[in-house]
């Protein structure tokens, strides 16, 4: 069976490792050296006690903190670390990577100020022969329980799509392909902004009408920015787009939803982030997208409202009132 490397042992990285291992693929799971206890618990107890407590992992996973050892274990490498760490990790890994390597980003974030996508960073920092992105409505806590789910792997190369499909796909995890790497990555990053906003709306006690209104306009804003950045607008209607938006913006399993819910109830942003214990990618993405939209005169009022609550001290109810009284007549 095709061996697999996963760089990053957070909840999603560990879940990807478990999916591949349960399909019979030997998996090397790289853990940050500062998290050596995670590697020890995976190897000795088949559990990631920090990020996925309570779930027994496949015996086909072997954890290591040695990056060179991990990169040598396979030419198929999944990158699953916070977006702010991707460039540094790729620089560290570059001496151990060659044109034979296929690098698949599962990180849902953008690098400011130009909103650089993760696979572009991979291309800039390594000699990988091919890159791909994987994104979709993939709440790790549901997937490790065996609940049916789907994802999208995006690449210009059909053999790469087929290979990722063969490694991860199964009766409870369906893998679709896409040629629109730009769109799939943008969907995965942008929806986190609106997951924060949806958590805020829930915290304010708003109901189904408000949620439906909010998510529909969120999808419009995502599509507006995405098409300006070269994405296929149809991608935003699919699993990587609206599918991921719905999952992340409606589930308390979503870290971004929980963060928005906590902030709107009065928890300071820094304290809410500490309480999560993991990265909420929507926070830096909100800041980066708001700055980019302002610089390029892109109309994204809901993203601006979320930014105002998170970073400008605006009362959430005032932000909602400003949205509801905007001078607009037709949907655009």
Would you please indicate which residues are annotated as catalytic (active-site) residues?
191
Separation of CA 221 from chain center: 18
Whose structure tokens read 């599509």?
Answer: 223
What is the C-alpha separation between 307 and 305, in angstroms, rounded? Answer: 5
CB 121 within 8 A of CB 134: no
CB 204 within 8 A of CB 264: yes
For CA atoms 283, 284, 289, 290, the dihedral sign is: positive
List the beta bridge partners of residue 135.
152
What is the C-alpha separation between 310 and 292, in angstroms, rounded? Answer: 17
What is the C-alpha separation between 166 and 105, in angstroms, rounded? Answer: 17
Q: Hey, which bits of the chain come out as E strands?
A: 4-7, 27-30, 61-64, 76-79, 102-105, 110-111, 116-117, 130-135, 149-154, 173-178
The DSSP secondary-structure symbol of 57 reads P
- Rounded to a whole number of angstroms, the CA Rg of the chain reads 19
Q: What is the dihedral of CA 17, 21, 22, 24, to 10 degrees?
A: 150
């Amino acid at each position: 069976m095709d061996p697999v490397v996963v760089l990053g042992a957070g909840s999603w990285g560990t879940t990807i490792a478990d999916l591949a291992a349960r399909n019979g693929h030997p998996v090397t799971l790289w853990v940050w050296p500062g998290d050596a206890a995670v590697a020890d618990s995976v190897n000795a107890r088949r559990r990631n006690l920090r990020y996925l407590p309570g779930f027994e992992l496949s015996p086909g996973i072997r954890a290591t903190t040695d990056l060179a050892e991990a990169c040598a274990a396979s030419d198929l490498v999944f990158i699953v670390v916070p977006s702010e760490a991707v460039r540094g990790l790729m620089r560290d890994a570059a001496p151990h990577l060659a044109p034979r390597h296929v690098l698949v980003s599962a990180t849902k974030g953008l690098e400011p100020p130009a909103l650089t996508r993760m696979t572009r960073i991979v291309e800039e920092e390594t000699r990988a022969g091919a890159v791909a992105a994987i994104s979709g409505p993939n709440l790790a806590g549901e997937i490790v329980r065996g609940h049916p789910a789907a994802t999208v792997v995006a690449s210009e190369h059909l053999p790469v799509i087929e290979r990722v499909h063969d490694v991860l796909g199964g009766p409870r995890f369906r893998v679709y392909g896409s040629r629109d790497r730009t769109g799939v990555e943008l969907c995965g990053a942008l929806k986190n902004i609106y997951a924060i906003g949806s958590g805020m709306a829930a915290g304010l006690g708003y109901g189904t009408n408000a949620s439906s209104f909010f998510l529909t306009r969120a999808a419009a804003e995502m599509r507006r920015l995405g098409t300006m950045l070269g994405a296929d607008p149809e991608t935003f209607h699919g699993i990587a787009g609206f599918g991921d938006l719905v999952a992340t913006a409606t589930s308390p399993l979503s870290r971004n939803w929980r963060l928005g819910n906590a902030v709107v109830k009065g928890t300071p942003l820094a304290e809410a982030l500490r309480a999560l214990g993991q990265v909420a990618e929507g926070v830096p993405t909100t800041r980066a997208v708001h700055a980019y939209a302002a610089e390029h005169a892109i109309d994204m009022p809901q993203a601006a409202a979320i930014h105002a609550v998170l970073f400008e001290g605006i009362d959430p109810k005032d932000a909602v009132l400003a949205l509801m009284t905007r001078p607009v007549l037709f949907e655009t």
